[in-house]
Amino acid sequence: MRGGAIPPQAAAMAIEDVGAVHGGTCAATPLWRQGGMGGIARMFGRGVRWALPSRCPGCGAVAEADHRFCGACWGKLRFLGPPWCAGCGEPFAFDRGENARCGACLDSPPRHDGARAAVAYGEIARRVVLRLKYGGRAALAETVARPMARLLPADADLLVPVPLHRWRLWSRGFNQAALIAAALAKASGVASDPTLLVRRRRTPPLRGMGPRARAKTVAGAFEVAGRATAALGGKRIVLIDDVHTSGATADACTRALRKAGAARVTVLCWARVLAGEPHD
């Protein structure tokens, strides 16, 4: 939902309005006496909001509410939707039909059953990802999950985040894809399992590599945990990640999930790199 920075005058008016009549209570009645402990809780909550106002996930400016972008950052986000390639989700300039595929997917079909992303990878989308992954801003997982939820398949059985290798998980402290999947699970009611898929060997960062090098690097890097194989049979899986670049990681994960019996694997991300656009 679109948000905007709060002008200083509006913030001042909000502070001055604390004693206004609310729910039939006289303005002269101290807030802490309005409703006993409930009044104290409301007073504390309002105090926290004034002291720690909501911030834009993109630039940090004071925002209208949690998880809302300011007008400037919102204007720089490109939300994705049809018409797009049924395989990789690359946007089309015009409608080619529901099952149309781009040249790249016709030439080398992905293993998965379709990839979708909420926004195109760009300045603001990248900044949010970096703050989530390296800035310890775990709350941003919900920020990105909200626009992703509209693209979640209605018949999804299970959300599976792309895993980190155990050493990278140890050094970072969390898996951003798992946080996003948990936020999506909370919003949709579809279960999430962050332990089902594992990265059995450590791989170097893929940034700077071409599509073929990326595919070679992650080939065979993922597998389904032994205890989970029986639970995957016939399931419709949604693979969750933060950024979709070449599709190499998604294909490697899909191969492991299908080998374990998944009936369908679709990919859902916060952002995707569009053809011809620069990326990390």
Residue 2: inside a domain: no
Highest mean pLDDT of the ranges 1-5, 73-77, 208-212, 230-234: 73-77
Domain hosting 34: range is 8-73
**pLDDT digits over 77-133, tens only?**
999 999 999 999 999 999 998 899 999 999 999 999 999 999 999 999 999 999 999
Whether 25 and 131 share a structural domain: no
Average pLDDT over every residue of 242-263: 93
Is residue 3, in this structure, part of any structural domain at all? no
56 and 116 in a common domain:
no
pLDDT computed for residue 277 by the predictor:
67
Residues pairing with 224 in the sheet: 197
- E strands, the chain, are 115-120, 158-161, 197-199, 222-224, 236-244, 264-272
Is 91 inside a domain boundary? yes
DSSP state at residue 164: P
Query: What's the rounded mean pLDDT across residues 174-185?
Result: 96
Residue 147: other Cβ atoms inside 10 A: 17
- Indicate if 133 and 241 belong to the same structural domain: yes
Looking at 38, 54, 73, which one is the last position of a domain?
73
Number of structural domains found in the chain: 2
* 26 and 118 assigned to the same domain: no
Under 8 Å between Cβ of 87 and 114: yes
69 and 164 part of one domain:
no
pLDDT, tens digit, 9 for 90 and up, residues 33-90: 444 545 444 444 444 444 578 999 999 899 888 999 999 999 999 999 999 999 999 9
CATH of the domain at 214: 3.40.50.2020
In a domain, 111, yes or no: yes
Residues 239-263 have a mean pLDDT of 93
Q: Are residues 27 and 136 in the same domain?
A: no
pLDDT over 80 (residue 269): yes
